[in-house]
Amino acid sequence: MDKKDILSRVDHTLLSQTATWEEIRQILDDGIKYGCASACIPACYVKQAAEYADGKLPICTVIGFPNGYHTTATKIFETRDAVANGADEIDMVINIGFLKDKRYDEIEQEIRKIHEACSGKTLKVIIETCLLTDEEKIKMCEIVTNAGAEFIKTSTGFSTAGATFSDVELMRQYVGTNVKVKAAGGISSFADAEKFIELGADRLGTSRLVKIMKHV
């Protein structure tokens, strides 16, 4: 795969707590320049970013981030607010404690409601694979498929580990044909990115690939 093709699948990401508008603007400029799939940024910058990018780059933001234990009502409000501010894509975090408690129906209902609040925008469901057993990962593939979200996503990048090749392989195997896979967290080379795509990832959440391009 050529680098341009790989970059077209990248959600160019900056979600650090200290992110300033100047840094976000740089992410947008680079995302536009290198033809990325989107810029994934904190919700507080979505309105400003959407106005700045002016349709040249889709704007993605995160909901219930990074821990996922917000109430459903809170996540729905965050989603509606983000969409109203111009977000094109929403990456939500599931309630991991509920998954451990086997409260599967509640998780599925939450995803359905958030998907509804997306008003036709793309929803990616972060399951935080590093905290789950294989059994729980497989269960989440089933739940995300049933709930109708567009993507299942490995990680927030804020927990104990990011995406692994084995997790992407597993998710691609068990998720429905209508659901795409996003690998995120720790993707630091074009070789790794290509391997993730070969294993079935449609999207990659990273900032490092654009940084590599800038220093070529």
Cα 129 to Cα 160: distance, rounded to the nearest angstrom: 10
Q: Is 182 a catalytic residue?
A: yes
Q: Compute the radius of gyration of the chain from its Cα atoms.
A: 16
Cα 158 to Cα 150: distance, rounded to the nearest angstrom: 22
| CA 183 to centroid of chain Cα atoms | 8
Q: Is 91 a catalytic residue?
A: yes
Cα 37 to Cα 119: distance, rounded to the nearest angstrom: 20
CA-based end-to-end distance of the chain: 18
Write the burial class of residue 78 (CB in 10 Å: 0-12 exposed, 13-18 middle, 19+ buried). Answer: buried
Q: What share of the chain is helix, strand, coil (3-state, %, to 5)?
A: 50, 15, 35
Phi, psi of 102 (to 5 degrees): 60, 35
Catalytic-labelled residue, pool 11, 30, 88, 91: 91
Q: Is 54 a catalytic residue?
A: no
Catalytic-labelled residue, pool 11, 180, 182, 192: 182
Catalytic-labelled residue, pool 124, 153, 167, 180: 153
Give the residue numbers marked as catalytic.
91, 153, 182
